[in-house]
Amino acid sequence: MTKVAVVFADGCEEVEGLSVVDVLRRLNIDCDMVGLDKKEIDGDHHILLTCDKVVDDSLLDYDLVAFPGGRTGALNLRNNKKLADLMIQRNKAGKWDAAMCAAPIALGHYGLLEGANYTCYPGFEKQIEEECPNGHFSTGITVVDQEHKIITSRGPATAWAYAYTIARTLGHDTSDLEKGMLYDYLAKNINASL
């Protein structure tokens, strides 16, 4: 059975993490909400989140670990040595990881974007380029780097695309859920409504 962890830190962009949890749980994918250093997390917009557990060595057992963005949350993820060590071990073991919005700065700081294709919230690519000069920035909504096993996405409005991309990358069919949640309708009609 596929297992995913979404790591939440104080100051995270709530919608970017909860969209992943929501989509994966609707698909019956085992998805844990993991607090960076405590179970109770205060999001960037002061939405209080109660996580299932706190970061520990079990992070190595997940098929994919996902990070939501939010500037403060991303910095908290970036600056946590225990998390950095675990993510580097995951990368060496060939595990999938994902980050969106500002959170790719954490993956960049850990050295995981060196040589990888990625995207992030506009402007954060400059910070990533300082630590991973051989990374390849793209403006795509979501970017999947199969070689480096990294999934990235742009920002709050791309959270659903991020969530569905994670599920599909892990081998799950999302078509029925996309129809049921009207995601397919949104994808086909968004330009007409703007």
Asked whether the predicted pLDDT for residue 192 surpasses 90, the reply is no
Measured in Å, how far apart are the chain's first and last C-alpha atoms?
A: 40
Torsion angles phi and psi, residue 131, rounded to 5: -95, -25
| Cβ partners under 8 Å of residue 86, min gap 6 | 55, 57, 59, 60
pLDDT at 174: 98
More confident residue, 179 or 187: 179
Q: What is the mean pLDDT of residues 146-165?
A: 98
Asked whether the predicted pLDDT for residue 94 surpasses 90, the reply is yes
| Tokens encoding 139 | 């403006």
Which CATH number is 95's domain given?
A: 3.40.50.880
Distance CA 32, CA 46 (A): 21
Look up the domain containing 29 and give its range: 3-193
pLDDT digits (tens, 9 = 90+) for 118-130: 999 999 999 999 9
For 4, 24, 31, 59, 155, the CA distances from 184, given in Å and listed in that order, are 24, 17, 23, 32, 19
Distance CA 65, CA 107 (A): 11
Asked whether the predicted pLDDT for residue 136 surpasses 80, the reply is yes
Number of domains in the chain: 1
Read off the pTM. 0.97
